[in-house]
Amino acid sequence: MAHSASNAQQAIITDGIQDILANNRQWVATKNAEDPEFFKRLATGQQPRYLFIGCSDSRVPASGITGTGPGEMFVHRNIANMVVHTDLNLLSVLQYAVEVLGVQDILVVGHYGCGGVAAAAANKQYGLIDNWLVNIRDVVRLHEAELLGVKDEPQRLRRLVELNVIEQVRNLAKTNIIQNAMRGDKPPRLHGLVYDIADGVLKDLQVDDSTALRGLAHIYGTEVKPLVAAPRVPEPPTTEEESSHYKGPQQDPSQVEAAAATA
């Protein structure tokens, strides 16, 4: 009886991913028909042009809304497309994308109807995620006067979505990863975009690396401190030096000669 129940449970689990597996096989067949070398080429490595920092919302597929394919976009997603300076996950992705992959464009992509933004705007507790939402509430604090001036609540939330994207682009510009990259030969470009789920259109908020820290560089700008060579530590004596019994002159040679003459 227990064995039968186990088999039934396994069947349910397997059935739950059958569509995924079938879709994968169909996708592979389609790609191979279009380009027999497609997967061999992908297997040699990646050199994406874009880093996409977006929301985890299932309605906002990174490749789908940007028209990019495998190998073209490096992707990081979290609740409400946040750039948090204590988030080692985000920072690791950012450093790898910029310093190893050499991405050319970094996109922070928010979306209207974001549940994380709406939750941050409400005076309610939701559990563990409240610690994450504090970062969005900081955006509310920074732009409170503007937001209070928007009387229509849906429009106020839409504007908060936009302001959140703008602040996350600024947070990118505050990192030493981006600041150091901006001093290089091929500095990445920063962009803030908002996706409208209702019509599928991406909106450019016109915030980029040239405007992200306008008026704030004296606070957030940093310079690389030159490395100072450490003082040289004397090397330990060799075995040969340690075994030598010669200690050098023990007294003035002229005194030795005088003593010999007297004797």
Tokens describing residue 50: 């874009």
> Among this protein's residues, is 3 annotated catalytic?
no
Say if 226 falls within a structural domain. Answer: no
> Among this protein's residues, is 189 annotated catalytic?
no
pLDDT of residue 262: 61
Domain range for 87: 49-211
Min mean pLDDT across 96-100, 168-172, 182-186, 208-212 is at 208-212
Say if 247 falls within a structural domain. Answer: no
> Among this protein's residues, is 105 annotated catalytic?
no
Q: Select which of 76, 111, 158, 191 is catalytic.
A: 111
Q: What is the CATH number of the domain that holds 169?
A: 3.40.1050.10
Q: Select which of 57, 76, 158, 191 is catalytic.
A: 57
Say if 86 falls within a structural domain. Answer: yes
Say if 252 falls within a structural domain. Answer: no
pLDDT tens readout for residues 48-103: 999 999 999 999 999 999 999 999 999 999 999 999 999 999 999 999 999 999 99
Burial category of 154 from C-beta neighbours within 10 Å (exposed 0-12, middle 13-18, buried 19 and up): exposed
Say if 21 falls within a structural domain. Answer: no
> Among this protein's residues, is 59 annotated catalytic?
yes
Q: Select which of 59, 85, 189, 214 is catalytic.
A: 59
Tokens describing residue 174: 């505050």
Residue type present at position 263: A
Q: Select which of 35, 76, 114, 130 is catalytic.
A: 114
Say if 17 falls within a structural domain. Answer: no
CA distance readout (Å), 99 to 72, 180, 231: 17, 10, 31
Q: Select which of 55, 158, 170, 209 is catalytic.
A: 55
Count the domains in the chain: 1
> Among this protein's residues, is 111 annotated catalytic?
yes
